[in-house]
Amino acid sequence: MILWTVMPLELVLENAVPPQTLVELRQGKRLFLLEPQPDGRAKLVRLISSDPRDFLNPAWQPGTILPWPGPDASDQNFP
């Protein structure tokens, strides 16, 4: 089905998907957006970084499940 409308997508789908609760975790120049899971862990939703090498790290790809509560921001071994 195709829906053609001039209304913004946010208005059309505002009740279709429940809003996500995201938590920010900063580690150096990296910013991780995490979605807490009911089992006590967190799913990595987004990585924000100015270093292109950060996006090549398979441990930081979106959808990765990480231990939660998150580590201290000074922890260099995250995740």
Residue-level pLDDT, tens digit, the chain, 79 residues? 788 889 988 888 887 777 778 999 998 899 999 999 888 899 999 999 999 999 999 999 999 998 876 544 444 445 5
Q: Is the pTM of this model over 0.75?
A: no
The reported pLDDT for the residue numbered 76 is 46
- pLDDT value for 42: 92
Rounded Cα distance between 6 and 37, Å, is 35
Interstrand relation of 23-27 and 30-36 (parallel, antiparallel or unpaired): antiparallel
